[in-house]
């Protein structure tokens, strides 16, 4: 049917900001301050930047769950589109044949469409399909030829699925069923305003009441709450009680494919390790040029210190002293590296890693590799690292506010 010629845009690492960056890069859109394709860092900053979101969940039949958010999650894609005045053509249908023809029509117009598909149903993710779990995320389709679909999705390598799996993934959730979108060029006359608004949203997410949820679930307050719950043994949401030693604690520390724990949230789940703080620092360096505010370069350096502190925290969650936890840490990082560098060309290796990680998870559930005393010491150590991050990010946010006030 149709494959875009010389498709080359595989730099995006996050399903939302990365997909937008990939589409605009292929369309030849260049940022005025660099003369280069719009960076994912710039899109992250405009979308509202980084924050901390800390939530605990417990669903019947599932292990207790930690959600540790590293970036703004309040409609970030729509925020980018609105702030840069990016016009969109959006098509949505319940009919599979029409849904396929809409993708083909957009391809034949010369632009790669963004398509919503269930991450659990796409074979290259190697996730277990669960009738109670789904995640409709945007991917970029740059070709549909016979039964083959060509995709750009968080990997530096092309991804491929057969058409039947692709259509099933698109149909998984009614709200986004067969949804497809094409993008027009941004209005760079709004770039400075978009950057300013993104910075202030980041500041507010750290310091003010969030648009939804309790204040202590976001920003600096969330870091304080997390540190307290790591060492408090009486509160019903303390880690000692909510994540008992065994399967529950292992889930909180690292999680599994499709349900990240703290280590994955920090290192592998989003666009960059270090809780995306280094990526946000890159945005601030660009913002310093766009807004002509050199002080933002100093703020960027503080966020880079924070990125390093997040990485230290991540290693503390799965310490070298436990051979089993260390192996889980290293395998999880290897899995991400294989996917980013090779895509589905290394799917067999990724499956082997997932199989071993499942064995480790089962072993940790049966006999956790740390004693009660060692577990207590680990949680206390982690709490100390969380508070160090709190202090660095409080400094960063104070600097940021001073730089743009």
Q: Tell me the per-residue pLDDT of 120-157, one tens digit each, with 9 for 90 and over.
A: 999 999 998 887 888 999 999 999 999 999 999 999 99
Written as six digits, the tokens of 110 are 């010369």
State pLDDT tens for residues 17-63: 999 999 999 999 999 999 999 999 999 999 999 999 999 998 887 88
Q: How many CA atoms lie within 13 A of 319 on its CB side?
A: 12
Nearest alpha carbon to residue 112 among 148, 76, 138, 131: 138
The pLDDT tens digits for 169-195 are: 999 999 999 999 999 999 999 999 999
Is the whole-model pTM more than 0.75? yes
- What angle (nearest 5°) sits at the alpha carbon of residue 117, between those of residues 83 and 85? 15
pLDDT at 59: 84
* 367-401 per-position pLDDT tens digit: 999 999 999 999 999 999 999 999 999 999 999 99
Looking at residue 1, its pLDDT comes to 64
The distance from CA 162 to its chain's CA centroid, rounded to whole angstroms, is: 25
Give me the residues paired with residue 91 across strands.
180
CA angle 48, 273, 247 (to 5 degrees): 105
Tokens of 175: 């709200």
In this structure, what token pair is assigned to residue 16? Answer: 């939302």
Rg (CA), the chain: 21
Taking each helix axis from N to C end, the angle separating 372-404 and 295-317, rounded to the nearest 10 degrees, works out to 170
Q: What's the pLDDT band for 257 if we cut at 50, 70, 90?
A: confident
Token pair recorded at residue 244:
């008992």
Q: Is there a contact between 266 and 314 (Cβ–Cβ < 8 Å)? A: yes
């Amino acid at each position: 049917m149709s494959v875009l010629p010389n498709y080359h845009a595989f730099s995006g690492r996050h399903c939302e900001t990365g997909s937008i960056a990939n589409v605009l890069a292929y369309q030849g859109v260049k940022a005025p301050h660099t003369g280069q394709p719009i960076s994912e860092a710039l899109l992250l900053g405009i979308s509202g930047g980084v924050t901390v979101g800390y939530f605990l969940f417990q669903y019947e039949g599932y292990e207790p769950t930690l959600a540790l958010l590293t970036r703004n999650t309040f409609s970030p894609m729509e925020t980018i589109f609105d702030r840069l005045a990016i016009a969109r053509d959006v098509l949505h249908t319940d009919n599979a044949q029409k849904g396929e023809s809409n993708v083909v029509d957009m391809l034949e117009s010369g632009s790669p469409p963004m398509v919503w598909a269930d991450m659990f149903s796409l074979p290259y993710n190697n996730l277990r399909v669960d009738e109670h779990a789904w995640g409709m995320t945007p991917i970029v389709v740059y070709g549909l030829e016979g039964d083959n679909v060509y995709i750009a999705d968080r990997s530096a390598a092309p991804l491929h699925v057969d058409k039947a799996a692709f259509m099933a993934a698109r149909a998984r959730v009614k709200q986004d069923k067969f949804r497809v979108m094409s993008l027009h060029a941004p209005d760079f006359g709004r770039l400075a305003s978009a950057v300013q608004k993104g910075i202030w949203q980041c500041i507010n997410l750290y310091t003010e009441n969030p648009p939804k949820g309790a204040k202590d679930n976001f920003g600096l307050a969330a870091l304080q709450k997390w540190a307290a719950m790591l060492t408090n043994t009486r509160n019903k949401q303390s880690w000692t009680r909510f994540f008992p030693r065994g399967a529950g604690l292992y889930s909180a520390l690292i999680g599994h494919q499709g349900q990240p724990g703290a280590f994955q949230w920090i290192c592998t789940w989003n666009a960059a390790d270090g809780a995306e703080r280094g990526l946000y620092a890159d945005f601030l360096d660009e913002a310093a040029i766009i807004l002509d505010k050199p002080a933002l370069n100093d703020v960027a350096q503080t966020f880079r210190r924070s990125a390093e502190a997040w990485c230290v925290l991540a290693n503390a969650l799965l310490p070298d002293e436990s051979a089993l936890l260390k192996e889980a840490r290293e395998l999880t990082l290897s899995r991400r590296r294989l996917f980013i560098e090779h895509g589905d060309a290394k799917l067999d290796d990724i499956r082997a890693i997932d199989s071993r990680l499942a064995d480790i998870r089962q072993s940790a559930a049966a006999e956790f590799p740390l004693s009660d005393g060692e577990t207590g010491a680990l949680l206390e150590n982690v709490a100390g690292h969380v508070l160090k991050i709190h202090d660095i990010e409080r400094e960063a946010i104070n600097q940021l506010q001073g730089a743009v006030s």
